[in-house]
Amino acid sequence: MIKPLKKAVLPVAGLGTRFLPATKAMPKEMLPVVDKPLIQYAIDEAREAGIEEFCLVTGRGKDSLIDYFDIAYELEATLRERGKKSALEALQPSSVQAGSLVAVRQQEPLGLGHAIWCARSFIGNDPFAILLPDDIVKSGRSCVAQLVDAYNQTGGNVVAVTEVPREHTNRYGILDVGADDGKLVEVKGLVEKPNPEDAPSNLSIIGRYVLTADVMEHLAKLERGAGNEVQLTDAMAKMIGHVPFHGLRYEGTRFDCGDKAGFLEAQIAFSIDRPDLGDAVKAFLKKYVDVV
């Protein structure tokens, strides 16, 4: 029987060094794309997949992420007093049901695999999604919902994948591909950040995963991999052959907001089709393009 998927882990302990000084005193996951922080995109995406329980894996200096999901009594009272209805509505997505969001701390930056292992008590024996908030996906149906749809058919592990230029394979987890129906790909092998000449394909994992709890047993060994970090990819690779394991070519566009160019592109992509901003954005883009 395929267990229903209700939990998500969001690793948010990273230092955000690529965005200094902006991230000196605020978590990078609080950086907004248009008017919503990155963390909110991830939560919205998970909710669309029917996920109701969240675990943030945080680190020192990241407590404002937890405050963000709390009730802001004074702010709400002031807005209500002043009749600011739309501002109050804008706060709605950041409210969570009592007890449905927990946080654990990753005390040392030992890698993504270690961050996920820190959530083991929250996971217990349940399957779960992982969302890396650096990646946001613009799509019709949410990317995680697409993964859960596939998981409900196949069970086991399902990771979101996309083709990348071969010279970029050393930035991602890369698949060795088995049977491929154009959408769902059987995972035969996984390598973390291989050099282009060693990469088994150019099909890369983006920051969206659905995994069974068994991954925790492999992570518990805390074996170091690429970059001397505990790699999630290595733990997943050990599950190949033991659980069904697929890559899903999701429908949508991923923006790597951990990268400055990707972050800026996301601002354009998410604002250009908004009724309140689209015309203004198109007009100023034309202005700058004409200058180039």
Nearer to ligand G1P, 7 or 254 (CB): 254
Nearer to ligand G1P, 9 or 232 (CB): 232
Q: Is 112 in the site for ligand G1P (CB under 6 A)?
A: yes
Stretch that binds ligand G1P, among 26-34, 76-84, 228-236, 283-291 (CB under 6 A): 228-236
Backbone dihedral region for residue 267 (phi beyond 0: left; psi -120 to 50: alpha; all else: beta)? alpha
Nearer to ligand G1P, 37 or 133 (CB): 133
Q: Is 233 in the site for ligand G1P (CB under 6 A)?
A: yes
Nearer to ligand G1P, 79 or 162 (CB): 162
Quick one: which of 27, 55, 48 has its CA closest to 257? 27
Quick one: which of 44, 42, 220 has its CA closest to 121? 220
- The letter for the amino acid at 52 is E
Mention every residue, 6+ apart, whose C-beta is less than 8 A from residue 248: 146, 147, 150, 158, 159, 160, 161, 183, 184, 185
3-class DSSP state of 122: helix
Stretch that binds ligand G1P, among 74-82, 94-102, 205-213, 264-272 (CB under 6 A): 205-213
- Least Å distance, CB 224 to ligand G1P, is 13
Stretch that binds ligand G1P, among 46-54, 149-157, 213-221, 226-234 (CB under 6 A): 226-234
d(CA 43, CA 46): 5
- Least Å distance, CB 50 to ligand G1P, is 23
CA 138, 140, 143, 144: dihedral to nearest 10 degrees?
Answer: 130
Q: Spell out, one character per residue from 142 to 181, where the chain touches ligand G1P: x when CB under 6 A holds, - when not.
A: ------------------------------xx--------
Q: Is 205 in the site for ligand G1P (CB under 6 A)?
A: yes
Q: List residues bridging with 209 in a β-sheet.
A: 130, 159
Quick one: which of 59, 10, 55 has its CA closest to 37? 10
Q: Spell out, one character per residue from 113 to 132, where the chain touches ligand G1P: x when CB under 6 A holds, - when not.
A: -------------------x
Number of residues interacting with ligand G1P: please give it, by CB under 6 A: 13
Q: Is 206 in the site for ligand G1P (CB under 6 A)?
A: yes
Chain position whose Cβ is nearest to ligand G1P: 173
Mention every residue, 6+ apart, whose C-beta is less than 8 A from residue 63: none
Q: Are 278 and 271 in contact (CB under 8 A)?
A: yes
Backbone dihedral region for residue 208 (phi beyond 0: left; psi -120 to 50: alpha; all else: beta)? beta
For residue 21, is the peptide bond before it cis, meaning its omega torsion is within 30 degrees of 0?
Answer: yes
- Least Å distance, CB 147 to ligand G1P, is 14
Q: List residues bridging with 78 in a β-sheet.
A: none
Q: Spell out, one character per residue from 185 to 204, where the chain touches ligand G1P: x when CB under 6 A holds, - when not.
A: -------x-----------x
- Least Å distance, CB 174 to ligand G1P, is 8
Give the footprint of ligand G1P on this chain (CB under 6 A). Answer: 112, 132, 135, 172-173, 192, 204-207, 231-233
